[in-house]
Amino acid sequence: MKKTRLLNPQLSGAIASLGHGQGLTVCDCGLPIGESVERIDLALTHGVPGFLDTLDVVLSETVVEEIIIAKEFIHVSPELYQQFAERIQLLAEEQGAPVKVVQVSHECFKAQSDLSKAVVRTGERTPYANVILKSGVAF
């Protein structure tokens, strides 16, 4: 059995295969996922697993240099956004480098998520609870 937090083999493999600058999307249960991108569907029921729970595990396994969000996330779901922002600040401290957060329109976000290495679908129901994590390097 693996020693680290992440137990899902499909998600573990997707993270292990990320190259510098490649994206991994973590999304709510409503984001459309293109046919050409790998879908890692973790959703069990509404809210399970949650966006933040999933993000915490993914961030524990991934070097992140940039994050893309829909600008609507900040205004439509401010409480969840604040919890997300706190995690990103901690991530930057742990990595010893800033993590750039890029805001785009939701339409642009959907198009960019289709370019990700994989899309991880959670059971989250909070609007715009979606991020694209751009892989950094560990050296």
Domains and CATH numbers, the chain: 21-135 (3.40.1650.10)
Judged on CB neighbours under 10 Å (0-12, 13-18, 19+), 77 is buried
Q: What's the confidence (pLDDT) of residue 98?
A: 92
**What's the CA gap between 79 and 76, in Å, rounded?**
9
The chain-wide mean pLDDT, for the chain, equals: 96
Residue 26 has pLDDT above 80, yes or no: yes
Q: What phi and psi values does residue 130 have, to the nearest 5 degrees? A: -140, 135
pLDDT in tens, 60-113: 999 999 999 999 999 999 999 999 999 999 999 999 999 999 999 999 999 999
**What's the CA gap between 116 and 37, in Å, rounded?**
7
Residue (of 36, 23, 9) closest to 130 by Cα position: 23
Which of 20, 46, 75, 106 is an active site residue? 20
Judged on CB neighbours under 10 Å (0-12, 13-18, 19+), 139 is exposed
Residue 30 has pLDDT above 90, yes or no: yes
**Is residue 20 flagged as an active site residue?**
yes
